[in-house]
A and B are shown apart, each in its own frame.
Chain A
Amino acid sequence: MSLAHRIIPCLDTDGERVVKGVNFVNLRDAGDPAALAARYNIEGADELVVLDIAASRDHRPTFLETIRRVAAELAIPLTAGGGVANVDEGRAILRAGADKLTVNTAAIRNPPLLTALAAEFGSQAVVLAIDAKRVGDRWEAFVRGGSVPTGIDAVAWARQGVDCGAGEILITSMDKDGTRSGFDCPLTAAISRAVSVPVIASGGADTPDTFLEVFREGRADAALAASIFHDSIQGLGALKRYLGEQGVSVRQTG
């Protein structure tokens, strides 16, 4: 008996609509988040992530309404985030219907934020999102949607984030994001070995093989993808059947 590996579709939004683009440029509309959420809920997603990649303060009420609309479609867990900078903003996201929230930039600038969020909502509700890029023989954490380097080692930051109270790590490979060339297994495995909490791999999802690799070589507990699901390049049911046939524990649905 063992915990199933999770497959997590991700809805990147501008607060209101699902958008697509590589490295936050050339964004184009990819649909209504609630409609996509309803589809993934039925197709067997194990969890859903919805992010506000614009994360502008003026837009926050719109994003909270988006969370409410998405949550209303789901009988699976929902994680939401984008620009969360304090406990009150975290509470607003959870009250809107998310089960967990992601923090990124604000946590790097102020690690005790993780401790405060965990004390308020429990570690199980606090997901530390890290955007990492290979620099020499290590990975560096970037903030502000991957636009600002921090000089901080991503693996060391993951470890520190967990010590501060994060209950899960969402590691996005900036080198792989949007490339459809497979997940960054060395990065994911390095993070996975460094921490005791579950690790979600993100960036580079493509064929079912790439998911198998990130679960085996990358030691990921969950894998996240966006466009391959939105564009129906990969069906969730077929992906999970394939993984099951390969001996990976997954929750089969229907």
Chain B
Amino acid sequence: MNIALVEYGAGNLPSVERALSHLGVESRRASTPDALAGCDALILPGVGHFGALMRSLGERSLVAPLREAVSRGTPLLGICLGLQAMFATSDEAPGDTGLALFPQKVSALPPVDRLPHMGWNRLRRARPSKLLEGVLQDAYFYFAHSYAALDAGEAGVAFCDHCAPFVAVLEQGNIFATQFHPEKSGPVGARILSNFVRQAGSQG
């Protein structure tokens, strides 16, 4: 299978590549519209700032090709900021438009607990999840963020509670995303990635 990591000049690509490689999955990097078009599955990693991510994608003319790939049915996994980029807007960059695969917005978490939400936390499952297949209920995942999607309608399949309940795992058809970092979440994180690869194989 031909899996590509979307390369836009930021994001922690090597750790995702390494995690895939440990699963025996080779990936490549896609930084042009043509490269995106020829993939069986896409991963959008992300760290940093919503506005900076969208600007980087825009400068590389990757926004429309990403949306087109998703509408063609190409499986897409967003990680951390890559999840947030799937929404229409974010409090982090008012005025900037996201990929808008979902109409809701990304919110600043209210400062009830310590922020950034940094470290290992558990999930609360709301709906059946393909990414979480075979993962124990009380498993911990690594988070590092201050913004989050509080609502994704039916696509929100698992939530985490820190400052407010927010979407931790998102799934809808060929769209998958996690607010946590599977590539930094030890063996359970590897399971998430392998579940995505398996889904991509059966969908693609």
Q: Report which A residues bind B (CB closer than 8 A).
A: 1-4, 6, 41, 46-47, 71-72, 74-77, 94, 97, 99-100, 121-125, 167-168, 196-198, 221-222, 251, 253
CB proximity of A85 to chain B, nearest CB, Å: 21
- Identify whether the interface residues of A are mostly helix, strand, loop, or mixed: loop
Interface of B is mostly: mixed
Given contacts A75-B19, A97-B15, contact A1 B120 (CB under 8 A): no
B residues adjacent to A (C-beta < 8 A): 12, 14-15, 18-19, 22, 47-49, 111, 113-122, 124, 140, 142, 144-146, 160-162, 181, 183-187, 189-190
With a CB–CB cut-off of 8 A, which chain B residues contact A77? 142, 144, 181, 184
Other-chain residue from A1, A71, A97, A197 in contact with B115 (beta carbon distance below 8 A): A197
**Total contacts A-B at CB 8 Å:** 93
Given contacts A75-B184, A99-B144, contact A121 B48 (CB under 8 A): yes
Please state if B120 and A123 are interface contacts (CB–CB under 8 Å): no
The residue that A3 contacts in the complex, of B14, B18, B162, B185, with Cβ under 8 A, is: B162
Shortest beta-carbon distance from B24 to chain A in Å = 15
Q: How far is the CA of A72 from the CA of B18 in the complex (A)?
A: 7
Decide: B113 and A75 in contact? CB cutoff 8 A: no
Bound CA span A209–B161, Å: 29
Knowing A75-B190, A76-B142, A76-B184, say if A124 contacts B121 (CB, 8 Å).
no
- A196-B119 contact, Cβ under 8 Å, with A75-B185, A75-B187: no
Indicate if the CB atoms of A1 and B184 lie closer than 8 Å: no
Contacts of A99 in B (CB 8 A): 12, 15, 47, 144, 184
